[in-house]
Amino acid sequence: MLKIAVCVSGGGTNLQAIIDRIADGSIENTRIVRVISNKDKAYALERAKAAGIDAVAVTRTAYPEKADFNAALLKAIDEAEPDLVVLAGFLVVLDPEIIRKYKGRIINIHPSLIPSFCGAGMYGLKVHEAALARGVKVTGATVHFVDEGTDTGPIIMQKAVNVEDGDTAEILQKRVMEQAEWKILPAVIDGIAKGKITLG
């Protein structure tokens, strides 16, 4: 049984995709042991509770000092004893200590085809705004292992999505989620659960 902790910051549609794919059996042999949010009002926490999953918030408001926040986040992860940490729309740069401790056991979903439109400051809608501003005709999503850089870890899976005439950032974000993110993140978790994907 692969025990996963899912870290979130917002709406939690990627979390929902994981919950749904575990429920319908397309992710095998996997259990979400804890959902951790850095925002106490994140709707993702409601999704977790609705699914009966342990859900906790670790916020900067509660821990204004970055070092205290990092320690509390690490504690929240450690307590859950996960085999894998999934960053599913987690808009916090992880402390190097956490990355070192969980090396090869942290994955992230990013809403572009890395190395395009990634790195510091590129998250959420900003990624799609940048893709539209550059005028690319194809974008997509990437699941990668997390290393100490921002979006620099080994790429595991990518899926391309067409940009259409008249797209707004919101429309493009939704298409990238539906056609790419909600498919490849569950697929990678299933691959890890089956031992088919490891950090080489």
**11 part of the interface to ligand GAR, by CB under 6 A:** yes
CA pair distance 11, 126, nearest whole angstrom: 16
Pick out residues in 175-194 that bind ligand GAR (CB under 6 A): 177, 181
Residues touching ligand GAR: how many (CB under 6 A)? 17
How many angstroms separate the CA atoms of 166 and 123, rounded? 22
Instruction: Select the residue interacting with ligand GAR from 4, 12, 27, 114 (CB under 6 A).
Output: 12
Task: State which of residues 4, 5, 7, 13 lies at the interface with ligand GAR (CB under 6 A).
Answer: 13
* Residue 142 in the binding site for ligand GAR (CB under 6 A): no
CB neighbour list of residue 26: distance below 8 Å, 6 or more residues apart? 186, 190
* Number of helices followed by number of strands (H, E) in the chain: 7, 7
Binder to ligand GAR among 109, 114, 184, 192 (CB under 6 A)?
Answer: 109
Return the structure tokens found at 137: 């005709």
- Between helix 13-23 and helix 182-193 the angle, nearest 10°, is 50
Say whether residue 80 binds ligand GAR (CB under 6 A): no
Active-site hit among 34, 110, 128, 144: 110
Q: For ligand GAR, which is the closer residue by CB, 68 or 164?
A: 164
SS3 84: strand
110 is catalytic: yes
Question: Angle CA(20)–CA(25)–CA(28) in degrees, nearest 5?
Answer: 110
Interatomic CA distance for residues 75 and 87, integer angstroms: 16
- Counting contacts by CB under 6 A, is residue 123 touching ligand GAR? yes
User: Does residue 48 touch ligand GAR according to CB under 6 A?
Assistant: no
Q: Which residue in the shown chain puts its C-beta closest to ligand GAR?
A: 89
Catalytic residue positions, numbered: 110
Interacting residues toward ligand GAR by CB under 6 A: 8, 10-14, 44, 88-89, 109-111, 123-124, 127, 177, 181
